[in-house]
Amino acid sequence: SPGYDRPVMIYVHGGGLVAGDKVWYKGSLYANIGDYFASHGIITVIINYRLVPDVTYPGGAEDIQRAREWVYHNISKTEFGEGDPDKVVLVGHSAGGLHLATNLYLYPPEPKPKPKPKPKPQRYPVQPESFKETPTSSNPPPTPPPIAGIVFISTPFEFVDTDTDTFSPMPPHNTQFQTALKAYYGTQHLDEVHELSPIGLMMGKIPDGSPLLDPRKLPCLVVLAQYDPEGIQDPTFAFLDEYRRRSPQGVLPEFVVVGGHNHISHVCSIGTEDDVQGRMLREFIGRVC
């Protein structure tokens, strides 16, 4: 039902780069997420993105940018619930988190001057270069969509095991995922894949002082499941370590391990009696919006 100034969540599903849909399994998966958060007053936009073999890097990130821009320009309309375009939280699970991180880190925002104290946190826009236009009198540059917060759920921030100099294991579909990975990035060279991964982009693209490196400026929540595979766990800890190294005072984002769940079940549990994941996300959105 319409309600002015509602917070908005953009949810990006997973699927190993090759699968997934916002109405997966005849709508039973991810409808639980939309129904649950809508029932708690949060407008929820579940998006699709192109899948391998029909896309190459950074196509997934570009698709997310288009969705973000659509939300920014349309979500305040009555037919879409009258959401607040300045209260948008981005949530990505698994491969969706990968594309989300790429969208944010490939062309990060410039560091902002320290804002004066305000009753609500400053929003920081992110606008990839591929979407920038040359401003003219008849064609002004588009307004970058603001972000109130970011949530990464079981996200593969890296694909290279630096201890063994091989691709990180990703059971139970390890071979298929590595094939999709090479097709998406267009290379089999480990160093090239590393440079294009979220951690590689964080090391090479994000300038010091960026809000993406300070959760006090741009709140960030990182979530793991207790039984996530090594190929998700290890890169997550590496991401947190790099975040801590780059942040101004070693300030970490929020980090939660959801007990009793695996890579898929903690997302499927949203909207069921097991309300740990859903409640955690609602509380985060409530704090940052």
Q: What is the pLDDT of residues 254-270, one digit of tens each?
A: 999 999 999 999 999 99
Side chain identity at residue 288, one-letter code: V
Is the preceding peptide bond at 53 cis, omega within 30 degrees of 0? Answer: yes
Average predicted confidence (pLDDT) for the chain = 87
pTM: 0.87
58-107 pLDDT, tens digit each: 999 999 999 999 999 999 999 999 999 999 999 999 999 999 999 999 97
Share of the chain residues as helix, strand and coil, in percent rounded to the nearest 5: 40, 15, 45
Q: How confident is the model at residue 113 (pLDDT cuts 50, 70, 90)?
A: low
Q: CA nearest 153: which of 103, 93, 78, 64?
A: 93
Q: CA nearest 89: which of 49, 130, 132, 45?
A: 45
Is residue 19 scored above 80 in pLDDT?
yes
Q: What is the pLDDT of residue 181?
A: 92
Domain definitions of the chain by residue range = 6-112+123-129+143-288
Q: Is the CATH number of domain 6-112+123-129+143-288 3.40.50.1820?
A: yes
Q: CA nearest 222: which of 252, 188, 193, 251?
A: 252
Q: What is the pLDDT of residue 44?
A: 97
Which of 151-155, 172-176, 188-192 has the highest mean predicted lDDT (pLDDT)? 151-155
Residues near 76 by beta carbon (within 8 Å), at least 6 away in sequence = 82, 83, 84, 85
123-144 pLDDT, tens digit each: 656 555 444 443 343 444 344 6
Structure-block tokens of residue 266: 């903690």
Phi, psi (deg, nearest 5) at residue 91: -130, 125
Residues near 146 by beta carbon (within 8 Å), at least 6 away in sequence = 72, 85, 86, 88, 123, 124, 125
Structure-block tokens of residue 247: 């942040």
Say if strands 254-262 and 220-227 run parallel, antiparallel, or are unpaired. parallel
Residues 55, 184 contacting (CB under 8 angstroms): yes
- Is residue 99 classed as helix, strand or coil in its secondary structure? helix
Cβ atoms within 10 Å of 59's Cβ, excluding its own: 17
Q: What is the pLDDT of residue 166?
A: 77
Which carries the bigger pLDDT value, residue 135 or residue 146? 146
Helix pair angle (28-39, 276-288), 10° resolution:
50
